[in-house]
Structure 1
Amino acid sequence: MKRFAQLFTALDQTTKTLAKTAALTAYFEDAPEADRLWTITLLSGRRPKRTVNATRLSEWAAEVAGLPMWLFKASYDVVGDLAETIHLVLPDAEAAPDRSLSDWIADIRALAAQPEPERKAWVLRSWTELDGAERFVFNKLITGGFRVGVSQKLMTRSLAKATGIEEAELAHRLMGKWTPETTSYAALITAPDPEADLSRPYPFCLAYGVEGDPTDLGPAEDWIAEWKWDGIRGQLILRGGQHHLWSRGEELMTDRFPEFARAADFLPDGTVLDGEILAWDAETRRPMGFSALQTRIGRKTVSKKVLADAPVILRAYDLLEEDGVDLRPLPFAERRARLVGRIADLPADAPVALSPVVDFADWDTLGPIRETAREAQAEGLMLKRKGSPYHVGRKKGDWWKWKLDPLTIDAVMVYAQAGHGRRANLYTDFTFAVWKEDELVPFTKAYSGLTDAEFRRITHWVRRNTLARFGPVRQVPPEHVFEIGFEGIQKSTRHKSGVALRFPRMLRWRDDKPVAEANTHADLLQMLEQYG
C-alpha cells in the first residue's frame, strides 16, 4: 500500500505529463503483479463499489476524532470531499506492517458481506494502521470514489514503456469486461489468449473539434463528411456465434438493446461495426431524437412498451473487423467501401443501417449543409480524412467534429454549491432560473465554463450574500445573469419548468445585462417547440 500511496501522491502533485509517465512506468516495472493489475483496474475506471455508506463512515470518523456531527458536517461542507475530510480529522495512526494494495482491496470487497459491527471494527482498526497518503487512498477506495488525474491513454503509454509492448496493442488488451477476479496480470498483459474474450471491443477512434474554419484542413477532396448523430456511440460485435454491444465508455450494453440479437441474421460472424445507436422511427426512417433514446438508457430490463415506443437501430459508419480480420490499419475510404458492400443492401427491418455520407463539392458548400443538421436530428458534421487508419483514442489531424453552435439562453443564478477536489473551496455548481411572469423558475444546473478567476470572484460574492443554507447548497439573491449554452432541449415531467437541457454549461457571465432582461419561461417553450 505504501508503494501505491507514493504513486498516488506523485501523480496528484504534478500536472506534467512526463513526470506522471515516469512515475507510472517505474511503478509498473517494480510493483508486484497483483498490485499492477489492480492499479490498471483503478486507472481504467473499474473502481470497486462502495462497501460502507457515507453516513456510517461520517459517524465513525466523527466518533474517532471526538467531534460532534454538526462540526464534522460543517468540515465536510468546507472540504467538499468525504475521504479527504476523514483523512484530515482523524488522529495520527499507529505503526503497522505494510500490506499490499491487492490485500487491502480484497479486505475492502469482503466487507459487503459483513454485519455492521464487524465492518465498523475493521474500518476503525484500519484507520489506526494507515497514515498520510495511505489513509487518504484507503478512504477513497472504501467510499468507491477513487480518482486521480491520469487518463487511460497515459496509463497505457506508461505500461507500454514498462513492458515493451506496443501501446496500441495494450489499449486493445485492456478493453472488454475483464476484472481482477477473472484474469491475472500475465493473462491480461504479457501473454493474453486471443480467444479468451470474444466480446472484446476495439479502442474507439475519437475526434477533435474543428477550431475556426475547416478550410485549414486542406483540399476538400481529401475528406468524407457524415452527420454527427445525437445518440450513443457503440460497437456491435459478432464473434463466436454471439453478439455484443459496447458503449464508448466501455460499458457492455447487450442486454439493454435486445433488438441487436437479430444482427446475426443479416451479418456474418467475425464482423465488428462502429456506429451510433439511435431511437428510430421505422415509418419516417428518421431518428426520433435523444429524448426518446433516454428512456432506454440505464435500464437493466426493457419492457415491451419501451421497446415499442423507442425502438433502436445502429447507423454504422465504420467497419473495424471483417471475417475476423482487423481492418483498422486500412485507409478510412477503403473501410467505408467495404462497409457499404457489407450492409448497404440490408432489408429495412434489419437492426443495422448504413450511415450516409454527406455529399459536398467544396468547403463553401458544406457550411450551409451543416446549418441544417438539427433538421436531420444531428449535432453537426463529422469530417474524416480518406486516408486515415482507425486510431486508438484521439489523434489530431484525421478525424474532426464540426458541431453546430450551441443553443443559448440568458438565465439568473439562484443557488450555488461548492465543487470537489481542487475546487472544493470554490462555489462552482450553480442553479439557474428564468422569468415566468414575476417569478423566477429554476430550470437547469451548470458547473463548467468559467475561468478560475471568475469562480473565485463569484465565490467571494456567494459567501457575502447567502440568503439561506440547505446543507452544502446556498440560496443567493437573483442579481447575476449568465449565458447558458446547451446542445438540445426536451420535455421533462421531473422539473418544475417542464423542460430539461442537454449538456448545459456557462458560456459567459453577463455583467452587462440586468436581471430583468433575462430570458423567460415562454422563451424556453418556444425553443422546445422549435428544437425539441
Structure 2
Amino acid sequence: MRDFATLFATLDQTTKTTLKTKALAEYFTRAADEDKLWTIALFSGRRPKRAVTTTQLREWAAESAGVPLWLLEESYPIVGDLAETIALILPPAETCSDLSLSYWINWLRSLSNVSPEDRKMLILTAWNQLETTERFLFNKLITGGFRIGISQKLMTRALAQATGQDEASLAHRLMGGWTPESTSYHALIEAEDKAADLSRPYPFYLAHQLDDLPENLGNPVDWQAEWKWDGIRGQLILRGGGHHVWSRGEELITDRFPELARARDFLPDGTVLDGEIVTWDGTQPMSFNTLQKRIGRKTVPKKLLKDAPVILLAYDLLEDNGHDLRDTPLAQRRARLDALLQDLPSEAPVRPSQIIPFDSWQGLTQVRTRSRDMRSEGLMLKRRDSPYLVGRKKGDWWKWKLDPLTIDAVMIYAQQGHGRRATLFTDFTFAVWQGNELVPFTKAYSGLTDAEFNKITAWVRKNTLQRFGPVRQVRPEHVFEIAFEGIFESPRHKSGVALRFPRMSRWRQDKPVQEANTLEDLRAILAAHG
C-alpha cells in the first residue's frame, strides 16, 4: 500500500501530464503483477464490491476519534470527500505495516463473510496501522472511485512506456468486461491476444467541439456531414455467434436493449458497428426522454419495449468479416457500411445514419438550422480520409452542435461543492415565476468563473434564510441565464419539466428578479422543442 500511496501522492500533486505518465510508468515497471492489475482496475473504474456502508464508517470513525458524529458530518462538506474526512479525523496510527495494495483489497473482499461486529473491529485495526494517505486510499477502496485526473488514455500511455507495447493495442486490451477476479496481469497485458474476449469493443474515437467557422476546415469536398443524434453512443459486436452492446463509457449494456439481438438474423458474424442507440418511431428518432426511461433498467418490461423501441443508427463499420477496418479511410468504411446495410428489411434493428450531401459550407450552415426538427443536437463533420483513431483527437472529427436553449432563472438554494470546491458554494437550485410564486425547476453547478464562484459564495453566507442540512435557502435576488440542450415533461418535478445538461451560462447582474422568465415561458420552449 505504501508504494501505491506514494504513486497517488505524486499524481495528486502535479497537473503535468508528462510527470503523471512518468510516475505511472515507473510504478508499472517495478510493482508486483497483482498490484499493477488492481491499479489498472481502480484507475479505469473497476473497484471491489463494497463490504461496509458509509453510515457504519462514519459512526466507527467518530467513535475512534472520540468526537460526536455531528462534528464529523459538519466537517465532511468542508473537506469535500468522506474518505479524506475520516482519514484526517482519526487519531495517529499506533503501528505501521508494509502490506501491499492487493493484500488490502483481498482483505476488504473477505469482509463480506464476516459478521457486522467483527467487521468493525477489523476496520479499526486496519486504520490503526495505516498512515494518513494510506488510510485515505483504504477508505476510497470502500467508499468510491479514484478521481485524481488519470484518464484511461494517460494510463495506457504509461503502460506502453513500461511494457514497450503499442499504445493502441493496449487500449484495446483494456476495453471490455474484465475484472481483476477474472484475469491476471499477464493474461490482460502480456499474453498473446489471439482469442481476445469475443465481446471486447474497440476504443471509441471521439470528436472535438467546433467553435470556429466551418470554412476554416478547408474544402468541403474533403468532409462528410451527418446528424449528431441525441442518443447513446454504442458499439454493436457480432462475434462467435453472439452479440454484445457496449456504451462509450465501457459499460456492457446488451441486456438493456434486447431488440438489438435480432441483428444476428440480418448481419454476418465478425461485424462491429459504431453508432447511436435511439428510440425510433418508424421514421425518425424519438426524444431523448423516451430513451432515458430505459437507461437505468437491467430488464425492460413489455410495455416499455412497445412504447420506446430502439434501433442502432450506424455511422461506421469497424470490423467486417472479422477484419479490423480502423486504418481504412472513412470514405471506404462508409461505402462498405452502406453496402452491408442497404438490403436490410424494415424489421432489422439497424439503420444507416443519414449522410447529408452538401457542396458549400454556407449551404450546410442552413441545413444545420433544421437539427432540432430532426431530433438532432447538430452536425458531425468527419474528414473523408480519416482512420478510426483512439480517444479524442483534434483535426479529423468535429461536432458542430446547435447553440443551447436558454432561460433566465432566479437562484433560491445553494450548496457547497466537493473536493477542491468544498469551501465554495457551487451547486444551485433555480426557479421561474408562476404568478407571484417562484417554482423550482432545475439545478446547475457549472459555468461560472472562479472569481464569480468566490463572489456568490460570499453573498450566500450573508444572505442565508434557512438551512436544510448542507443546503441553504437564500434571498431570491440573483438572476442567472441557464443554458440547456433539451427539455421534456417530468411529473416528478413540481414545475412539470426537466432539462437536459443544464448549466449557468451567465450571471445576469444586469437583470432584476422580476424580469426572470416564467413557467409559461418554459412550457412554450417545451412545446417548441420537447
The separation in 2 between residues aligned to 1:18 and 1:470, in whole angstroms, is 44
Deviation at 1:132, TM superposition (A): 2.2
Does 2:419 match 1:421? Answer: yes
**Aligned position for 2:112:** 112
Native 8 Å contact 2:96 2:131 kept in 1: no
The separation in 1 between residues aligned to 2:196 and 2:110, in whole angstroms, is 27
The separation in 1 between residues aligned to 2:177 and 2:383, in whole angstroms, is 31
Q: Deviations over 1:354-396 (max 9, x none)?
A: 1010111110101010011000000000000000000001110
Deviation at 1:51, TM superposition (A): 2.2
Return the letter of the residue paired with 2:492. R
Does 2:262 match 1:233? Answer: no
Map of 1:200-279 to 2, 5 A cutoff? 200-279=200-279
**Aligned position for 1:465:** 463
The separation in 1 between residues aligned to 2:110 and 2:459, in whole angstroms, is 46
Q: Deviations over 1:465-515 (max 9, x none)?
A: 111111111111111111100000000011000000000011011111111
Q: Deviations over 1:256-286 (max 9, x none)?
A: 111111101100000000000000012xx11
The separation in 1 between residues aligned to 2:123 and 2:192, in whole angstroms, is 37
Distance 1:5 1:457, change over 3 A: same
The separation in 2 between residues aligned to 1:238 and 1:48, in whole angstroms, is 30
Map of 1:118-157 to 2, 5 A cutoff? 118-157=118-157
**Aligned position for 1:344:** 342
Native 8 Å contact 1:173 1:192 kept in 2: no
Return the letter of the residue paired with 1:132. T
Distance 1:503 1:337, change over 3 A: same
Does 2:327 match 1:334? Answer: no
**Aligned position for 1:513:** 511
The separation in 1 between residues aligned to 2:112 and 2:482, in whole angstroms, is 42
Native 8 Å contact 1:26 1:162 kept in 2: yes
Map of 1:287-298 to 2, 5 A cutoff? 287-298=285-296
Native 8 Å contact 2:77 2:417 kept in 1: no
The separation in 2 between residues aligned to 1:114 and 1:149, in whole angstroms, is 35
Deviation at 1:142, TM superposition (A): 1.1
Native 8 Å contact 1:332 1:387 kept in 2: yes
Native 8 Å contact 1:95 1:129 kept in 2: yes
Native 8 Å contact 2:259 2:349 kept in 1: yes
Return the letter of the residue paired with 1:442. P
Secondary structure of the 2:411 match is strand
Return the letter of the residue paired with 2:522. L
Native 8 Å contact 1:233 1:277 kept in 2: yes
**Aligned position for 1:88:** 88
Q: How many residues align?
A: 530
Deviation at 1:7, TM superposition (A): 0.5
Native 8 Å contact 2:414 2:427 kept in 1: yes
Secondary structure of the 1:250 match is coil
Secondary structure of the 2:355 match is coil
Of residues 387, 406, 420, the one that matches 1:389 is 387
**Aligned position for 1:6:** 6
**Aligned position for 1:450:** 448
The gaps in structure 1 that reach 5 residues or longer are none
Deviation at 1:192, TM superposition (A): 4.1
The separation in 1 between residues aligned to 2:133 and 2:72, in whole angstroms, is 20
Return the letter of the residue paired with 1:346. L
Secondary structure of the 1:295 match is helix
Secondary structure of the 2:464 match is coil
The separation in 1 between residues aligned to 2:47 and 2:499, in whole angstroms, is 29
Distance 1:4 1:369, change over 3 A: same
The separation in 2 between residues aligned to 1:515 and 1:112, in whole angstroms, is 54
Native 8 Å contact 1:416 1:428 kept in 2: yes
The separation in 1 between residues aligned to 2:472 and 2:417, in whole angstroms, is 13
Secondary structure of the 1:319 match is strand
Distance 1:29 1:333, change over 3 A: same
Deviation at 1:433, TM superposition (A): 0.5
Of residues 301, 306, 309, the one that matches 1:308 is 306
Deviation at 1:139, TM superposition (A): 1.1
The separation in 2 between residues aligned to 1:453 and 1:6, in whole angstroms, is 33
Deviation at 1:45, TM superposition (A): 1.4
TM-score (structure 2 length as normaliser): 0.99
The separation in 2 between residues aligned to 1:392 and 1:77, in whole angstroms, is 38
Secondary structure of the 1:275 match is strand
**Aligned position for 1:158:** 158
Q: Deviations over 1:217-269 (max 9, x none)?
A: 11110000000000000000000000000000001011111111110110000
Percent identity at matched positions? 68
Deviation at 1:49, TM superposition (A): 3.4
Does 2:477 match 1:479? Answer: yes
Deviation at 1:77, TM superposition (A): 2.6
Native 8 Å contact 1:47 1:146 kept in 2: no
The separation in 1 between residues aligned to 2:462 and 2:79, in whole angstroms, is 19
**Aligned position for 1:529:** 527
TM-score (structure 1 length as normaliser): 0.98
Q: Deviations over 1:62-119 (max 9, x none)?
A: 0011101121111113222111111111111122221110111111122233221111
Question: Which sits farther off after the overlay, 239-248 or 194-203?
Answer: 194-203
Return the letter of the residue paired with 2:471. V
Secondary structure of the 2:440 match is strand
The separation in 2 between residues aligned to 1:64 and 1:346, in whole angstroms, is 66
The separation in 2 between residues aligned to 1:196 and 1:111, in whole angstroms, is 33
The separation in 2 between residues aligned to 1:522 and 1:47, in whole angstroms, is 46
Secondary structure of the 1:94 match is coil
The separation in 2 between residues aligned to 1:145 and 1:188, in whole angstroms, is 21
**Aligned position for 1:440:** 438
Does 2:349 match 1:356? Answer: no
Q: Deviations over 1:27-50 (max 9, x none)?
A: 011110100000100111112333
The separation in 2 between residues aligned to 1:481 and 1:461, in whole angstroms, is 14
Return the letter of the residue paired with 1:83. A
**Aligned position for 2:495:** 497
Return the letter of the residue paired with 2:445. Y
Native 8 Å contact 1:186 1:192 kept in 2: no
Secondary structure of the 1:467 match is strand
**Aligned position for 2:410:** 412
The separation in 2 between residues aligned to 1:96 and 1:194, in whole angstroms, is 44
The separation in 2 between residues aligned to 1:48 and 1:466, in whole angstroms, is 41
What's the Cα RMSD here? Answer: 0.9
The separation in 2 between residues aligned to 1:252 and 1:143, in whole angstroms, is 23
**Aligned position for 1:43:** 43
Secondary structure of the 2:294 match is coil
The separation in 2 between residues aligned to 1:221 and 1:73, in whole angstroms, is 60
Native 8 Å contact 2:80 2:420 kept in 1: no
The separation in 1 between residues aligned to 2:477 and 2:449, in whole angstroms, is 20
Question: Which sits farther off after the overlay, 195-204 or 73-82?
Answer: 73-82
Return the letter of the residue paired with 2:219. P
Secondary structure of the 2:128 match is helix
Secondary structure of the 1:49 match is coil
Secondary structure of the 1:286 match is coil
Secondary structure of the 1:428 match is strand
Secondary structure of the 2:42 match is helix
Native 8 Å contact 2:381 2:397 kept in 1: yes
The separation in 1 between residues aligned to 2:28 and 2:518, in whole angstroms, is 56
**Aligned position for 1:97:** 97
Return the letter of the residue paired with 1:45. G
Native 8 Å contact 2:225 2:356 kept in 1: yes
The separation in 2 between residues aligned to 1:406 and 1:436, in whole angstroms, is 24
